[in-house]
């Protein structure tokens, strides 16, 4: 029987959520009143990094520089996320899960190109069988992973720290393991989310 574990990336395998947020401020700080404007935009982000920065560029009158600002944001994230700390126990868990026959995938809201670049800087090419990104595409990515791996939703796990991870798993019909410190914990603070991957080991490896 094929068994699959699908990981969110930022905040799940690596502690990079704050890096992503601060990178928007790094971009905004180059413009007068940019930090205040970026904070306003981020209260209700219009979409992924490209949409956020395009909105920002339009509002500061720098539309012609939007593409360059998106690239600068991606470069900042790549350099910092490539070396930031991992979630406690992540590397050991990935090693043990692979040794136990689990197929591992990444399913992130980060655009696929930048995501794969960062993954290649942190992990050997044999760790994950597939890396898929895209804002608002987590259900579609789970469906694609299911088809490619030949694994039924009931035999798949989604692991993440975000509300989008939780909701995608529920909509797709696979199992879910929730982690602390992301939007999941912020929106559901009374529930007990895991702080590391030790609980995941117990839940998944025995299933």
- Reported as a single tens digit per residue, the pLDDT across 91-113 is 999 999 999 899 999 999 999 99
Domain final residue pick, 46, 81, 116: 81
Please indicate, yes or no, whether residues 122 and 42 belong to a single structural domain of this protein: no
66-91: average pLDDT: 96
**Sheet containing 103-107: order of strands:** 130-132, 103-107, 4-7, 156-160, 175-178
Please indicate, yes or no, whether residues 73 and 89 belong to a single structural domain of this protein: no
The predicted structure's pLDDT at residue 205: 63
What residues make up the domain containing 73? 17-81
The predicted structure's pLDDT at residue 1: 59
Domain count, the chain: 2
Please state the pTM of the whole predicted model: 0.93
Please indicate, yes or no, whether residues 57 and 145 belong to a single structural domain of this protein: no
SS3 83: coil
Please indicate, yes or no, whether residues 133 and 56 belong to a single structural domain of this protein: no
Please indicate, yes or no, whether residues 93 and 149 belong to a single structural domain of this protein: yes
pLDDT in tens, 151-188: 999 999 999 999 999 999 999 999 999 998 889 888 88
Please indicate, yes or no, whether residues 155 and 197 belong to a single structural domain of this protein: yes
Please indicate, yes or no, whether residues 100 and 119 belong to a single structural domain of this protein: yes
Please indicate, yes or no, whether residues 93 and 175 belong to a single structural domain of this protein: yes
Q: Which DSSP symbol is given to 86?
A: B
State how beta strands 130-132 and 156-160 pair: unpaired
Please indicate, yes or no, whether residues 41 and 53 belong to a single structural domain of this protein: yes
The predicted structure's pLDDT at residue 19: 97
């Amino acid at each position: 029987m094929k068994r699959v574990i699908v990981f969110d990336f930022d905040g799940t395998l690596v502690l990079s959520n704050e890096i992503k947020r601060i990178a928007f401020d790094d971009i905004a700080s180059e413009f007068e009143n940019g930090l205040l404007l970026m904070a306003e935009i981020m209260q209700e982000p219009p979409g992924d990094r490209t949409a956020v920065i395009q909105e920002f560029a339009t509002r500061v009158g720098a539309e012609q520089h939007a593409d360059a600002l998106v690239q600068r944001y991606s470069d900042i994230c790549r350099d910092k996320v490539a070396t930031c700390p991992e979630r406690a126990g992540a590397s050991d868990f990935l090693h043990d899960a692979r040794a136990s026959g689990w197929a591992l995938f990444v399913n992130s809201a980060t655009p696929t190109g930048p995501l794969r670049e960062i993954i290649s800087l942190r992990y050997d090419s044999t760790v994950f069988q597939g890396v898929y990104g895209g804002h608002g595409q987590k259900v579609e990515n789970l469906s694609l992973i299911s088809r490619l791996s030949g694994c039924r939703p009931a035999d798949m796990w989604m692991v993440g720290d975000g509300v989008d991870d939780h909701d995608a798993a529920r909509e797709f019909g696979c199992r879910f393991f929730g982690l602390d410190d992301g939007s999941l914990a912020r929106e559901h603070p009374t529930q007990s989310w895991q702080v590391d991957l030790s609980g995941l080991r117990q839940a998944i490896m025995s299933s």
